[in-house]
Structure 1
Amino acid sequence: MLEILKIEELKKRFRRGRTNKLSLENRILMTLEYWREYRTYFHIAKSYDISESSCYRNIKWIEDTLIKHPNFQQLTGQKSLLKDYFKDKTVIIDVTESQIQRPKKDKNSTTQEKRKNTQ
């Protein structure tokens, strides 16, 4: 992962822009913490002393970069994983009818009120 991301980091530097506060190794560790522990961006950002939006951008960049690389084609996204999950599944639904008890209507249970201001 580190080798793949180092190459992409060098390509990214040619476009100029602000350098990242965290090293590439720390950003990978941050991404792995996000994947493994399901922590929020807020809590991860506080651990690394960066903003929540910066944490999100770093994790998103690493995910997108790894997904594009041929060695990580199993990370093609959640939608493709869901397609594979439901591919060979059979769903059985029980649709038998059953009666529902409903309250009986009678004059004692309903309250009738005289309407005022009716013409």
Structure 2
Amino acid sequence: MSSHIDEEGNCTNEAYVAIANGNTKCNKVGSRGGAGGYISGIIKLSKRITAYATIGGRGIYAFSVLYPSFDRNDMIKGGYGGGGYAFNYYDGGDADGAGSGGGQTAVKFLANDLWH
């Protein structure tokens, strides 16, 4: 679930979210991450071709260290497929961790690399 909050901390009107068939609710707790993107389409292939499907892993919402550190070994790992790392720190107050990024879901043609 994603949150839709403006710069001043106000929730976006639910009617606007419904118009776009959004999958969100107003969640004023920060660092929870978004719902991710969605795309669809039809590709017409004129000849037989090898395709590779990669399913991206979800991000993780957690914390485990009690000191500020940007050392990658201390950070929360992102999901499979290139998800971003998150700052992993709990100060005992309202800031209770962060969500790492989810990885990409993709269909690749010819080769299973970043350019196809």
Which TM-score tier does this pair reach, normalised by the shorter chain?
under 0.3
Q: Give the alignment's TM-score, normalised by structure 2.
A: 0.17
Greater percentage in strand: 2
Q: Which has the higher contact order (CA 8 A, sep 6+)?
A: 2
Structure number, greater radius of gyration? 1
TM-score, with length taken from structure 1: 0.17
